[in-house]
Structure 1
């Protein structure tokens, strides 16, 4: 008679085998000198480990290597957090199933045969310093890339390489949400800070994975629940507020001058009066409608048909980006901003060998002239998944391309964020000076400055994406409003 093994015994055997694999990778990591390879092996071990003791041991060992990366304190804090989690957590699936290693996104870009990159020719390679170089000669008018494959990878990176709450790069030490695979947090404080909006977003992870690889849906989903938290969870209050903004010719500052206490976040909300849809709006809407009933919390929250339609609009409209509250943070993560980011970043004299053509509603990128093997196509920070230029608030910047270029943008180390023009640099500098001098101004001057800023902001509509100097004006207005509210 055949031997019958119970499912419980079978699971024990599987767990034991996984633990052996985890120990193998953990020991191998200890013998490797390369920090990058150490992290990859530790993360591989984490994905396999079943035992709580082995999991904690791997976490502790991984934390130690951050001393060389100057992140030791932050990682030590996470070690304490991990211990707290393991004391209470019975189900370790989110950690065990963390499939994305710290370098997976970069590997995808290097792997020219990857199924998610069908339109990248087998002629480019990403070097260690993020240059895209040719591995064989390329003829003129050769297809380099189409928009969607890159957008999917960059959208992934915004979630797996950055804290879901503060959106800052945590340099390889993000801890997954215990209930879903799409949210990573850098600290317990960030987890608590995201408690409200992520409670619903956590259930809706599949909405962000509908078969349309648009980063705007994922950003819209997060921003929807983030804004909802400012209305104490009242969907109808949020809808009424948004509709007032949408239908009015006034700005958010004129519609509601008595905004809640969190004035700074509200002050950087963008006017919601300009909408444009995707070409596949109807198809995308039907897909989301099929997915929504799976998530009871969201169905309970958005109870009526009109509220569901509102949520769908939030997710599928291109201008869902207009709803973002933490705009100051998102500008530090240009990878998460728009599905047209490649075009915006390539529209630069340093990348003069690339031109784009719109085919069937999708951008495709081609070379203008032939390239030899080893030539650098361009040096692109958009694929740099390390710390992402948070110095913009200090009006400093990094070069976008590594070229000996004499254009005004490169000479001034000027970053090309979405919609930014070189001739607007004086506006950016003026906005920074306004912020510095604000404390010296009286109430009357502050109101005049607020009005002037808003007039300039309004002149940019209906431009699709606000640029960096517009962001600085929003920050300026935010601080003006805060100061005026304080003086009342």
Structure 2
């Protein structure tokens, strides 16, 4: 619900953070203020004006001007308008003096595939393929040797939703952070957007409300259906698409080489609905699909049955294939929930050879250790590894959440946790926990990868595992650190 009183409380918090030089916290609080501010009110103008001051301070001048423009559109206080205009003049002067305000784009320059891309699926390395056996079902393997630090997959999850507690930090549709330069839905307080395209999404027309009690999995289930309706155009067309699905296919069975192909999104629907399925954790979970249909007019019994079967199928697929977004390397709880067409085929290991790093709205998969051609690629589910959790805790967790018993080497041989691992190098210097810049982080990351490669024959050991932990934090910083 829109409320200028709530918006004002966040505006005051933002002003305090700004005065203390805590720019990220200030931006997040200004975004909270924007979420709740009544449309076309002075409070809306004040929040945009506050953000413009921060962007000016950190030399994000284009973002500064965008916020000034939005602030002036609803400003009715003459004195405040004059101050905003004054900042606009200073910003324009600064732009004229600067040759360029562009900074290093760490995402595009660092997070690139390390091998030639797949011919049909451009966001994965061409050396990867999906295989199948009785133990893992479908799984991912490599046809080429891989070394530590190789980037093999950069996948934007097809279906993704944001933790309701983080609605002020990312776009409700695409989940991009956009330097926190977001604008709110004019009707509800539950969504912010990064662009006009996202704000005009059909998906949000269904989701536009001020409900506070939707669970994470219900939000994803809704998104899976609403997004499919947006792509196909109607329930009838979605039904026709699903009726054409004669066999279970993986994403590698489709051709996405042409980004303008109108069938790309429809094929992603087919690839995602072909993922493995499992019964939900409780019978009550089936009740969740019922609320999804309330905003739609179901005209025939045939449509009702199709919709029921489709949502139950989505629910079963989501139950076993979901991923969490972790934009912080230290937070335990996921900040977003997603379903992927390719990454779902990574099997779990408590001692994985691949690391998942969440970079903006994408999952980047990077090798942690050397992998030989023909070997399977494993990731770690939900940050449960032998370094941080006991064998019993891991087995109990995976039995409960995923209904399987892990049989990786760390479980079979009961690897000790980090501080009890053997030490192999008397000259080893423990890495610094802080670094001066992203450039320094990149150099340290490459140095760590070289050490891991050179000493892998003595794994598992304290030194390599400690560097793997640091690499995870370094990669998060390189991919997600704001430049202020």
Q: TM-score range by the shorter chain?
A: 0.3 to 0.5
- Given the two structures, how large is their TM-score scaled by the length of structure 2? 0.45
Name the structure with the higher helix share: 1
